[in-house]
Amino acid sequence: MSIKKILAIIGFVAFIVFVSWSLYWVFFRDKSSTVTDDPGFIGGTIPGVDEGVNIIEEDDPDENQGLPWQQLFKDKISEVANGGLTAVTKLSEGSVAGLQTTEQGIKYYDESKDQFFRINDQGQPELITDKKFYEVDNVLWSPKDDKAILEYPDGMNVLYNFRTGEQVTLPAEMEDFSFKNSGYEIAAAWIGPHSDDNWIVTANDDGSGLGLIEPLGDQQHNTDIGYSPDSQVVALHRKSVDLQRQEVFPIGLHGENLRSFVVQGSGFTSEWSPAGDSLLYSIYNESTDYLPNLWVTNGQTNNLGDVKVSLNLATWPDKCNFSSENSLYCAVPQGLPRGAGLYPEIADNYTDNFYHIDLNTGTKTLIASPVGESGAYTAYNLFVSNDGSMLYFTDQSTGRLQSIRLQ
């Protein structure tokens, strides 16, 4: 047997041993003697705050057997969020897509009606147009105008103007769209037939003026395309430093060599605050039992990532919404199992409590355990109305648009 074959066999065996050890370390190792860096971190809860109310959706074996759970808890359900059971109102009959807040209010696509709606001043849905749009797969609204990019299952992308009725077909190679704050320019991933053809690109919203920003190669899964509020950054790319750290590289609009920063964990995902003063992100590591943990850091380009503060909340940025620069609402899963940070889809099986975080003071407050016709909820796509009176979200199990009253 040649030396090359022997070395190949040794390398393969070493790789198998490393993978087996990693799986044992994360999932099966005895954690009883482990001391965390943050003893105040509790998965899905906040130290010193009521954990909310768990809803039992099975029949009660006593004399109340057979009564709907709504009747059993009727006296405890509040119409306005006050830290306990809070009534949920259903706003759509079918699944929704493209739930997003714009200068014209909160808008979405109702898949059961093939039509687009906005939430009016009374908190109720109203049609944007009578026109029907069939089988829309995803929607991204322009922040400044009644325009949206509609993505279809066959790969077709259309920019549609709801005010004028005009539409423009965008290149099928474009995906992962993001609007610039001006509303008239976009960034996207350009995915060609080969990895060498993949790029981060920018263009006018009608697809003209295409510009190449950065080669993407085979790193699309490690790159989040999205304009920063100041429009200086078009994407964030993450790269592992070791098993417990990742380095985050901001990609500049004009090819600037922007400074990277390191986070103390893996699984980095993020959301900008409205004005870009803060960047909300989550990571997981050994000290959190490999549960996600929310952090906030400086968001301005010249000091991005300088100061990092843990919020001690076991959830992800895409289950949160900034209602203002220093006010944050999050849906926090109850009782996530160890290792959930590695597999975010696990959270789909756990119901949420809603929390409010004041980023000026660091105060975290349980505001609601949402309950409705089907019991408790798993929420995503949170949005707060412009007047702060309503919290809207999508129900994971049905895809329907729901709301609770905050005031």
Residue pLDDT, tens place only, 227-257? 999 999 999 999 999 989 999 999 999 878 8
Q: What DSSP character marks residue 45?
A: B
The CA-atom distances, in angstroms, between 312 and each of 68, 223, 227, 346 are: 35, 25, 27, 19
pTM: 0.82
Backbone angles phi and psi of 397, in degrees to 5: -75, -30
Q: What's at 396, amino acid-wise?
A: Q
Please give the pLDDT value at position 75.
Answer: 75
The CA-atom distances, in angstroms, between 110 and each of 118, 133, 139, 401 are: 10, 10, 11, 9
DSSP state string for 318-338: GGEEEEETTEEEEEEESSPPT
- Cα–Cα distance for residue pair 165/29, rounded to 1 Å: 60
- Cα–Cα distance for residue pair 133/156, rounded to 1 Å: 13
263 and 245 Cβ atoms separated by less than 8 Å: yes
Burial of 174 (C-beta count, 10 Å sphere; 0-12/13-18/19+) = buried
Mean pLDDT confidence for 312-329: 97
Instruction: Give the residue with greater pLDDT, 51 vs 83.
Output: 83
Instruction: Give the residue with greater pLDDT, 200 vs 15.
Output: 200
Nearest CA to 28 out of 339, 345, 336, 266 is that of 339
Delineate the domains of the chain, giving CATH numbers in brackets: 69-405 (2.130.10.10)
What's the token pair of residue 89? 């109102």
The fraction of the chain above a pLDDT of 90, given in percent, is: 73
Mean pLDDT confidence for 319-344: 96
Please give the pLDDT value at position 373.
Answer: 82
Please give the pLDDT value at position 101.
Answer: 85
What's the token pair of residue 45? 């809860």
| Host H or E run for residue 400 | none
pLDDT-wise least confident of 60-64, 163-167, 180-184, 193-197: 60-64
Q: What DSSP character marks residue 74?
A: G
- Binned at pLDDT 50, 70 and 90, residue 66 comes out as very low
Mean pLDDT confidence for 281-287: 97
Instruction: Give the residue with greater pLDDT, 38 vs 312.
Output: 312
pLDDT at 293 over 60: yes
- Cα–Cα distance for residue pair 402/99, rounded to 1 Å: 11
Average pLDDT over all residues of the chain: 86
- Cα–Cα distance for residue pair 218/265, rounded to 1 Å: 22
Please give the pLDDT value at position 59.
Answer: 44
Instruction: Give the residue with greater pLDDT, 170 vs 144.
Output: 170
pLDDT at 295 over 80: yes
Instruction: Give the residue with greater pLDDT, 210 vs 20.
Output: 210
Please give the pLDDT value at position 58.
Answer: 42
Mean pLDDT confidence for 342-351: 94
Q: Kindly report the number of other CB atoms within 10 A of residue 226's CB atom.
A: 17
Mean pLDDT confidence for 295-323: 96
The CA-atom distances, in angstroms, between 91 and each of 94, 96, 126, 264 are: 9, 10, 10, 40
The whole-angstrom distance between residue 57's C-alpha and the CA centroid of its chain comes to: 28
pLDDT-wise least confident of 58-67, 130-139, 200-209, 316-325: 58-67
- Cα–Cα distance for residue pair 269/253, rounded to 1 Å: 20
Strand partners, 327: 324, 358
Please give the pLDDT value at position 77.
Answer: 92
Q: What DSSP character marks residue 59?
A: P
Residue pLDDT, tens place only, 270-282? 999 999 999 999 9
Instruction: Give the residue with greater pLDDT, 102 vs 363.
Output: 363
Cα-Cα-Cα-Cα torsion 187, 192, 197, 201, nearest 10 degrees, comes to: -10
Please give the pLDDT value at position 256.
Answer: 85
- Cα–Cα distance for residue pair 373/400, rounded to 1 Å: 12
Q: What DSSP character marks residue 114?
A: T
Please give the pLDDT value at position 200.
Answer: 97
Mean pLDDT confidence for 46-69: 43
Mean pLDDT confidence for 49-78: 54
Q: Residues with Cβ < 8 Å from 89, sequence gap 6 or more?
A: 372, 402, 403, 404
Q: Report angle CA 26, 28, 34 to the nearest 5 degrees.
A: 70
Mean pLDDT confidence for 256-275: 95
Instruction: Give the residue with greater pLDDT, 31 vs 353.
Output: 353
